Amino acid sequence: MIEFSLWDIIRHLLVGGAWTVALSLIAFISGGIVGLMVLIARISPRPLFARLAKAYIEFFQDTPLLMQLFLIFFGIGLLGVDISPLLTAALGLTLFTSAYLAEIWRGCVESIAHGQWEAGESLALSRWQQMRFVILPQAVRIAIPPTVGFSVQVVKGTAVTSIIGFMEITKTGSMISNATFRPLLVYGLVAVGYFIICFPLSALARQIERRLHAACSR
Amino acid sequence: MSYQFSIEPIISNWEVFVEGALMTLLLTGLGSAIGIAAGILGAVSRAWKLRVLYPVYTVYVECIRNTPFLVQLYFIFFGLPAMGVKLSGWEASFLAMALNLGAYSTEIIRAGVMSVPRGQLEAAESLALSRWQTFRFVILRPALKNVWPALCSQVIIVMLGSAVCSQVAAQELTYAANLIQSRTFRAFEIYAFSTLMYLLLALAVRKFLHEIGRRYIDGRTA
């Protein structure tokens, strides 16, 4: 058996932590792009698009992330293509993130008074121009705190990808724990790792929200 | 490669699926009951800054909300035995779910408690309601009514999160799916079907909670 010093454990966890951060960034950025498309479909005046987007959002919000990952992992395997855990994790988390962000952002867009759309229309702006120049600039402001807050959920979601074998911090932790028989220490450190990533994000979300609130009530 | 979608492994194992789904529901029901009770206590201690409970709950809420459920579960199941607390997979899952929901519902219910206007408390006092009566009828009920939809969503999130409890051998729906998968090697069908079951469970639980809210939280209904 190899001896692990405390420093060895931390060193390995840091590598896993880097993968957690990388995967979270991939999921958040690509999820944001897909989420924007889902949002546009969701608030589209065409009922078919709106309904499809609604079904998409409900599917991802009402089924476990783990099942979504399993379906991608085994579903794509059926097509005869071998898919790596990283690709599965990135794809699964992107879809998951996009559904939640689309729904969060829909709330923000709908909180903009309807008269704003009408004002845009009376200025002969196309629907896309109304969205781009009138609604989005206002909605983005409201959307920042819940979006930052949701990024915490994305980071925590990456933990589930350890089950399909992606080597992020949780998977690294369980391997080290099995090798060293020190689960309390190792999982404690893993939890601290997540806390270090997530706490600043939640604090930031709270702070922006407070500032926005103060600005609105002034 | 030609692939034939086969429904046979699902039909021949339906009892295992149903058993797993019932276990998921049981886990969710027990976990939510304790979690929401902990949340009510937490909301009150956080909203009114009670002396000992306030700092305890603040630390607890921040720790739980900023770490993944899976890590909390591993910490309880694999970590605690080193401290002499040995729990079965079932007990660990239940405890983790209650702890997790407790932290989230603390924040949700606190928002509700703080949304009760001060004048309501003064009104209750002028009606000579006891402290307990004031708490029950003037604070808790309107607070829960305001945040009930958010609380329902959180219960659903915790239920879906319980899919990872299969990792500590709690025999819920995902455990059942894994078991059948390892017997039949029909991974895609099995997981597609269990995903569908989770979807139906989520819809059913949402409807059930909505009904509870309508009957017992909203108050007088015809």
A136-157 vs A85-110: helix crossing angle, rounded to 10 = 150
Number of alpha carbons in the 13 Å side-chain half-sphere of residue A2: 9
- B5-19, B42-56, B145-159, B194-208: least confidently modelled range: B5-19
Residue type, A108: C
The first and second tokens of residue B86, run together, are 């040995």
CA distance A143 to chain B (A): 18
Residues of B in contact with A182 (CB under 8 A): 82
Alpha helices (H) in chain B, listed in sequence order: 8-12, 14-47, 53-65, 69-74, 89-114, 118-126, 131-133, 141-161, 173-184, 187-212
List, for residues B59-94, the tens digit of each pLDDT value: 999 999 999 999 999 999 999 988 888 999 999 999
Query: Number of structural domains, chain A?
Result: 1
Q: How would you class A213 by CB atoms within 10 Å of its CB: exposed for 0-12, middle for 13-18, buried for 19 or more?
A: exposed
Asked if residue A18 is part of any domain, the answer here is yes
CATH of the domain at B86: 1.10.3720.10
CATH of the domain at A75: 1.10.3720.10
**Position A1 in a domain:** no
Q: Is B14 inside a domain boundary?
A: yes
| Smallest Cα distance from A118 to chain B, Å | 31
Classify residue B222: in a domain, yes or no. Answer: no
pLDDT at B26 (0 to 100) = 96
Find the helix or strand (DSSP H, E) in which A131 lies.
Answer: none
Which of A131, A135, A148 has its CA nearest to residue A211? A148
CA distance B41 to chain A (A): 23
Domain that holds residue A57: 6-217
**H or E stretch covering A89:** helix A85-110
Q: Which residues contact A181 (CB under 8 A, 6 or more apart)?
A: none
Residue-wise pLDDT tens digits, A42-99: 999 899 999 999 999 999 999 999 999 999 999 888 888 888 999 999 999 999 999 9
What does pTM read for this prediction? 0.91
- Residues of chain B in contact with residue A162, where contact means CB-CB under 8 angstroms, are 70
* CB-based contact, B82 to chain A, within 8 Å: yes
Structural domain total, chain B = 1
Assigned domain for B89 exists? yes
